Amino acid sequence: MIQKHLVNGLEVYSAKPASDSTKPALLFVHGAYTGAWTWLDHYMPWFEEQGYRCFALSLRGHGGSERKNLVQWHTISDYVDDVMTVLDWLGETPVLIGHSLGGFVVQKALERRIAKGAVLMCSAPPQGMMAGQFHLMFSKPSTLIDLNQLLESGQPTPHALRDALFAEPIEEIELNRYLMRLLPESQRAIWEVSIFHEAGLAKLERPPMLILGAEKDNVVSPFLVQSTAQTYGLPHRIFRGMGHALTHEKSWQRVTSAIRDWLEKEVPQ
């Protein structure tokens, strides 16, 4: 059963299995323009059935969290502070799972706090997105225009949204439902993710990490996912035929199954 909480102005959802479990808790961190809702449709109910306690927060200015009127001023450091707030509220050490910009936030959070594990899904790489933007400019210039519309306005057309985020078939009603829940994003945070960063986490003691990408991702290309993996000296997995929105692609369960198998193998229960 999914419950909603308000933690220091942050919207947090929880899902706990009916029976007690020794499995690690999971904390989901969403990407740009979305909120905790992106995990509610599929991932949290699925992992709850697998016996995992699940939590998902909406970063400040997103979903049902406060400070929407200040969203343009929020920084990546602010978002990391939000993750720290929820970790303090949990009072335990979970596995962090971040998608897209949320994956970048997870990496920065790991520079400040230990975790039992980390899953990066189509994540912005530790060095930033600059290389990926130049790659996209030369390979798919029309897609770059659509993505700029998505990133600058937060109100893309369904056509632009489908091309940018989805590769598998999606029903029009589901696409519009996804579109209607998007909210403006902090352009300051987007800029911070775009510029070059020192890969600080690569120099620290890291928890087990799983690095995932999508073959048809027009936002974070497989090239950038490979770059992230190389930075950390780890393997990566690219899901064939899938786009950036791994949480809502038709075959999303391929991803959750891969995460579960990795958790059972690599993360202490």
Average pLDDT for 96-120: 96
CA angle (144, 146, 150) in 5-degree steps: 110
Average pLDDT for 98-111: 96
Q: Which residue has the higher pLDDT, 201 or 62?
A: 62
Q: What is the pLDDT of residues 202-222, one digit of tens each?
A: 888 899 999 999 999 988 889
Average pLDDT, the chain: 88
Q: Any idea where the domains of the chain sit in the sequence?
A: 2-266
Say if CB 219 and CB 31 are below 8 A apart: no
d(CA 174, CA 223): 29
Q: Give residue 61's pLDDT.
A: 94
Q: What is the pLDDT of residues 144-198, one digit of tens each?
A: 445 545 545 555 667 777 888 899 999 999 998 988 888 888 888 888 888 767 7
Q: Which residue has the higher pLDDT, 268 or 213?
A: 213
12-26, 140-154, 232-246: which range is least confident on average?
Answer: 140-154
Residue 214 β-bridge partners = 239
Q: Which residue has the higher pLDDT, 123 or 202?
A: 123
Of the chain, the percentage scoring pLDDT greater than 90 comes to 64
Phi, psi (5° rounding) for residue 203? Answer: -95, -5
CATH architecture of 2-266: 3-Layer(aba) Sandwich (3.40)
d(CA 190, CA 4): 28
